[in-house]
Amino acid sequence: MLANYGYKDGSGDFFITIDTDKCDGCGACVEACPAKVLELVENEFDLDAETDVAAVTEEHKKKIKYSCGPCKPAHGYKTEDLPCVQACKPGAIEHSW
Amino acid sequence: MTEDYRMVKEGKGAEYWRWTESRWTNPDLDWKQGEVVSAGVDVGSVSTQAVVMVDGKLYAYSNMRTGSDSPESANKAIEWAFEGTGLTLDNLKATVGTGYGRVNVPFATKAITEIACHARGANFMYGPTVRTVLDMGGQDCKAIHCDEKGKVKAFLMNDKCAAGTGRGMEVFADLLGVHINDVGEMSLSVEEEPPPVSSTCVVFAKSEASGLLREGWDKEKVLAAYCSAMAHRIVDLLERIGVEKEFAITGGIAKNPGVVKRLAKELNIEPLPTDMDTQIAGAMGGALFARALYLKKMKKK
Amino acid sequence: MITAGVDCGSKNVRVVIVKDGEIMAQSMAPAGMDTANAAQEAYDKALAEAGIAAGDIEKVVATGAGKNEPGFKDDDVTEVGADARGAVHLFPDARTVIDVGAEEGRAIKIDAQGKVIDFAINEKCAAGAGAFTESMARALEVKLEELGPLSLESTQAIPMNAQCAVFAESEVVTLVHKKTSKQDMARAIHDAIADRITSMVRRVGIEEKIVLIGGVSYNIGFVKSLEEDLETKVLIPERPEFVGALGAALVAASK
Q: So where are chain C's domains?
A: 1-91+238-255, 92-236
Pair B262, B208 in one domain: yes
| Inter-chain touch B204–C126, beta carbons under 8 Å | yes
pLDDT in the model for residue C32: 84
- Cα–Cα dist C221/C130, whole Å: 13
Pair B112, B166 in one domain: no
Q: Is A90 touching C (CB cutoff 8 A)?
A: no
Instruction: Give partners of C (≥3 CB pairs < 8 A).
Output: A, B
Mean pLDDT value of segment B143-148: 96
In B107-146, the residues whose Cβ lies within 8 Å of chain C are 139
State how far residue A37 is from chain C, nearest Cα, in angstroms.
14
Residues of chain B with C-beta less than 8 angstroms from the C-beta of A62? 159-160
Residues of chain C with C-beta less than 8 angstroms from the C-beta of A97? none
The three-state secondary structure class of B50 is strand
Q: How does pLDDT run across C176-186, given as a tens digit for each residue? A: 888 999 999 99
pLDDT in the model for residue C255: 65
Q: How many CB atoms lie within 10 A of CB B118?
A: 31
Residues of chain C with C-beta less than 8 angstroms from the C-beta of B171? 166
Residue of B nearest to A65 (CA): B160
pLDDT of B4 strictly over 90: no
Which ranges in B28-182 belong to alpha helices (H)?
70-82, 114-126, 166-176
Mean pLDDT value of segment A6-17: 96
Pair B162, B187 in one domain: yes
Q: How many domains does chain B have?
A: 2
State how far residue A15 is from chain B, nearest Cα, in angstroms.
9
Q: Is B199 touching C (CB cutoff 8 A)?
A: yes
Give me the residues of chain C with pLDDT under 50, please: none
pLDDT in the model for residue B19: 53
* Nearest CB to A11 within list C119, C123, C203: C123
| CA R_g for chain A | 13
Q: What is the mean pLDDT of chain A?
A: 96
pLDDT of A62 strictly over 80: yes
Q: Is residue B134 part of a domain?
A: no
Question: What fold characterizes domain C92-236?
Answer: Nucleotidyltransferase; domain 5 (3.30.420)
Mean pLDDT value of segment A2-11: 96
Q: How does pLDDT run across B5-49, given as a tens digit for each residue? A: 333 333 333 333 345 688 999 999 999 999 999 999 999 877 899
Q: How confident is the model at residue B2 (pLDDT cuts 50, 70, 90)?
A: very low
Mean pLDDT value of segment B120-145: 93
Q: What is the mean pLDDT of chain B?
A: 90
pLDDT in the model for residue C158: 94
- Cα–Cα dist C253/C248, whole Å: 9
Portion of chain A with pLDDT greater than 70, in percent: 100
pLDDT in the model for residue B46: 78
Instruction: Give partners of A (≥3 CB pairs < 8 A).
Output: B, C
pLDDT of A71 strictly over 50: yes
Q: Whole domain around residue B187: which residue ranges? A: 156-267
**ipTM beyond cut 0.90:** yes
- Cα–Cα dist B91/B87, whole Å: 6
Pair B284, B207 in one domain: no
Q: Please compute, for residue C183, the number of CA atoms within 13 A of its CA located in the half-sphere on the CB side.
A: 6
Q: How does pLDDT run across B54-71, given as a tens digit for each residue? A: 999 999 999 998 888 899
Query: Which CATH number is C1-91+238-255 given?
Result: 3.30.420.40
What CATH number should be reported for the domain holding residue B86? Answer: 3.30.420.40
pLDDT in the model for residue C82: 97
Pair B88, B185 in one domain: no
Q: How does pLDDT run across B247-299, given as a tens digit for each residue? A: 999 887 888 999 999 999 999 999 998 888 888 999 999 999 999 999 999 99
- CA B218 remoteness from chain centre: 31
